[in-house]
Amino acid sequence: MDVGASAYRVLLVGEVLKGASRGLFDGVVLAPAGTVCEFSAALEHVRRLHPDVVVVDLSGPDALKAIERVMAERPVPVVALHPGVLSGADAFQALAVGAVEVVERPAEPGVDFWQAVSRKLMLLAEVRVTRPVQAQKPRHLRPSATDAPYPLLAIASSLGGPKALAVVLRMLPKNFPAPVCICQHISNGFTEGLAQWLGSETPLRVVEANDGDEMVPGNVYIARSGTHLVVRPKGRLVLDPSPPVRGFRPSCDVLLTSAAEAFGTRTLGVILTGMGRDGARGLKEIRERGGRTIAQDRATCAVYGMPKEAVRIGAAEEVLPLEQIAPTLVQWVETC
């Protein structure tokens, strides 16, 4: 195991992770080496050891409580290992209480799995996280003055995005007069579970987008794994199997740019927490075509990458804390 100058301190939470302390991590150091704590002791270990990243196994009954306590009092990047297919409610609840990433853990994880996890940990060790934002109750809107065309809300998000999306969507009222399209960078096969979880967190109807869908105001459409989500005029959605754009499929830039082209001045664009630059160009396209745009601010982002790029290129009309994004959208959509 390489424990040189680039190594990071990692705390493992959960008895099932004991095997991972036996030299299976590459390039990271446990805090201190070999420490695997119980869920009930997680917060105390974080206070005392100041790890760069915490790994929590979700198979324990108190795993979610441990993540919630750590994020409430000593925020640190948390990677949750989910024992099985990434569709269980606890996987999404882990994101809701503050984990920045959920990884499917095989029944018998081998060296290759742990080395892949170690590379992810080295990346996340550089991430600054904040305490989870609590959503406020939405206010009711006046009925939309026009039936069609309607406004469109397009949202881009990546690392830390599911939690941020839940906060924004919870604060939008059931009679929100615009459909919502979302491109979230997430593991393949995870979007169905994401749609189900977000649907339980918001008054809006949330579904995976289907090819040929005619959008309905108040509904949320999630871009499916492995295909670009494209908006066409008159509110029709297309699933485009074209190659990845700058490494991403679905691509946030593809969604936001198509929204700008199809809905013009009636487009509302939002870019939330995430690593990299995907979505910034699409957000700028919305603004240049007369739409209104928001980037999440640095203080409330899990990762200030995508929003930072949007701000840098002048794509964001407003840079707002997470809890202010939905109220602003509610105001804008009334005159959009």
What one-character-per-residue DSSP string does 141-171 give? PPPPS-SSS--EEEEEE-TTHHHHHHHHHHT
26 is catalytic: no
Contact 55, 10 (CB under 8 A): yes
| Three-state SS letters, 271-290 | ECCECCCCCHHHHHHHHHCC
140 is catalytic: no
185 is catalytic: yes
The per-residue b/e assignment along 54-75, b for 16 or more CB within 10 angstroms, e otherwise, is bbbbbbbeebbebbbbbbeebb
Which one from 157, 158, 251, 258 is the annotated catalytic residue? 158
Contact 200, 220 (CB under 8 A): no
Degrees to nearest 5, angle at CA 157 with 46 and 163: 45
Query: What is the residue type of 173?
Result: P
Which one from 45, 82, 185, 228 is the annotated catalytic residue? 185
Distance CA 99, CA 114 (A): 18
Contact 104, 190 (CB under 8 A): no
**Residue with the two structure tokens 């959008």:** 215
Just list the catalytic residues: 158, 185, 278
